């Protein structure tokens, strides 16, 4: 993972579809894609650029419509990070599938009924999921050195918290993946066979020779402050592990001690169903009750994006 810098020694910001912040600055706003299939959609983002050269990391969440800890944790982190202490650049896209989010659609995208995380590498002229997958891969992923893809169990899906990454022959990429997995410290960590073809975001990122992990925290379309904090802290520590943030030995020790006290030790385990250990509709919750709870979680996430939620004032104001 090379250190990217400009002629003045500051970090470069490689994503051309987002207005580049100045060195040591953050931008928070909305962007649009030019495609007809994506017309009228304004996607939120946080763009952070360090004063010193370093890696470039893409944080993505909201690929599925009913997964809320990832978007809320990503928004909270986007407001928390101090770009003045950053080495390199970070782009956070907290809600990449707006049609599914606003419709509270589990697993699939309204308009074509497809699972966005099974539509990669996408097509430049196709259905809404195919066009969105193509844009994310060619515009967002292609410019990053590493990718963190945040997920949860969807509205009727319970998952054990875990991370996952693909095997690779590149020892350097493997080391970065393992460093990000260790930084999250979730109970389970899956390692998947090296892909020869893939329909997922992380699989296609791996095929491009880049470091990439998938993160699953929470499920059943619900969200709690603990889950949001787990995502926020995990991404922050992953950035630290990759060298974008300064190391704080005492803070990392506290982070590790907390995991040990709560029994959250990562265990390497090959998870079923391509890494998604699924148990839908379980835990004594009827689909009707789950739907009501998911609506409340969606409301929290929507308020955070619009600006009237407790975790995030209007991101368009920036910082």
**Is 11 part of any domain?**
no
- CATH code of the domain in which 289 resides: 3.40.630.10
Lowest mean pLDDT, pick from 80-84, 105-109, 248-252, 308-312: 308-312
Dump pLDDT digits (tens) for 76-99.
999 999 999 999 999 999 999 999
Mean pLDDT, residues 279-298: 46
Q: What pLDDT score does 4 carry? A: 53
Q: Which two tokens stand for residue 186?
A: 């979730």
**Is 202 part of any domain?**
yes
**Is 10 part of any domain?**
no
Number of domains forming the structure of the chain: 1
Pairing of strands 43-49, 87-93: antiparallel
Pairing of strands 211-216, 146-151: parallel
**Is 3 part of any domain?**
no
Local confidence band at 10 (pLDDT 50, 70, 90 cut-offs)? confident
Contact status, residue 152 vs residue 220, Cβ threshold 8 Å: no
**Is 283 part of any domain?**
yes
- pTM value surpassing 0.85: no
Cα(298)–Cα(197) distance, rounded to whole angstroms? 33
**Is 14 part of any domain?**
no
> Between residues 252 and 293, which one has the greater pLDDT?
293
Q: What is the mean pLDDT of the chain?
A: 84
Cα(155)–Cα(60) distance, rounded to whole angstroms? 19
**Is 19 part of any domain?**
no
**Confidence check: pLDDT of 289 > 80:** no
Residue 14: CB partners within 8 Å, gap ≥ 6?
4, 56, 89, 143, 144
Q: What pLDDT score does 316 carry? A: 31
Boundaries of domain holding 119: 25-317
**Is 4 part of any domain?**
no
Local confidence band at 250 (pLDDT 50, 70, 90 cut-offs)? low
> Is-cis flag, bond preceding 121, omega within 30?
yes
Dump pLDDT digits (tens) for 152-162.
999 999 999 99
């Amino acid at each position: 993972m090379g250190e990217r810098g400009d002629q003045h020694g500051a970090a470069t910001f490689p994503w051309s579809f987002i207005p580049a912040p100045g060195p040591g600055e953050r931008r928070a706003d909305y962007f649009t894609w030019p495609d007809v299939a994506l017309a009228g959609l304004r996607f939120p983002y946080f763009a952070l650029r360090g004063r010193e050269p370093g890696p470039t990391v893409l944080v993505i969440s909201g690929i599925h419509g009913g997964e809320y800890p990832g978007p809320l944790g990503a928004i909270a982190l986007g407001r928390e990070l101090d770009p003045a202490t950053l080495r390199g650049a970070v782009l956070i896209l907290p809600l990449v599938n707006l049609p599914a989010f606003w419709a509270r659609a589990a697993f699939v995208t309204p308009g074509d009924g497809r699972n966005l995380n099974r539509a990669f590498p996408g097509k430049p002229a196709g259905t809404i999921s195919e066009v969105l997958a193509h844009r994310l891969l060619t515009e967002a992923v292609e410019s990053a050195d590493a990718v963190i893809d945040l997920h949860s169990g969807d509205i009727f899906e319970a998952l054990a918290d875990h991370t996952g990454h693909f095997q690779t022959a590149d020892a350097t990429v493997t080391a970065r993946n393992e460093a990000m997995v260790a930084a999250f410290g979730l109970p389970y960590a899956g390692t998947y066979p090296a892909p020869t073809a893939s329909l997922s975001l992380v699989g296609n990122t791996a095929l491009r020779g880049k470091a990439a992990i998938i993160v699953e925290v929470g499920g059943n379309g619900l969200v709690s402050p603990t889950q949001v904090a787990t995502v926020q802290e995990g991404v922050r520590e992953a950035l630290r592990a990759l060298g974008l943030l300064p190391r704080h030995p005492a803070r990392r020790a506290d982070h590790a001690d907390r995991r040990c006290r709560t029994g959250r030790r990562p265990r390497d385990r090959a998870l079923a169903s391509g890494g998604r250990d699924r148990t839908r509709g379980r835990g004594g919750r009827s689909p009707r009750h789950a739907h009501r709870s998911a609506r409340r979680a969606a409301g929290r996430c929507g308020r955070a994006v619009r600006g009237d939620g407790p975790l995030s004032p209007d991101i368009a104001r920036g910082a």
